[in-house]
Structure 1
């Protein structure tokens, strides 16, 4: 089980959180074409290594968070609020 350090509530079990997806993907604008929106919804990479992800502390403060997590080891290196920035370390 992952222990995610919520900036508001402290370290909590993964069961209190909902995974919301890749935080590096940008939603296409309203004037975008159908193909761009299709790719946004369905075309995803499955990276091996560090990834910035959206998580919501659903059973706690309800905040949306950005989490820097390694997809192989599940190590969590950093957590910030939704407006914060996280950089993926070089491989």
Structure 2
């Protein structure tokens, strides 16, 4: 008798191509392989569409959703597919900055 998970196909787990996942959405952090979660994958893919149209935008994440890794994957993609791009990446939480208040 087959186990139910042995019949589960790759397409049920991931909506893109497996090679795209391997090439664009795997990073190594201190020797640990990290793979994107669904919210990170779809966030980066949506940002790529905006970048192709030369539009800006915001990716809104909640606490613990993988903001840093999303920035890594998007930056990696930008550097690979647009060699003329100039980026400034700021992770406000790392520097302890607080928003400025106008007086």
Question: TM-score, structure 1 length as denominator?
Answer: 0.26
Greater share of strand: 1
Greater share of helix: 2
Greater RCO (Cα-Cα under 8 Å, separation 6 or more): 1
Larger Rg: 2
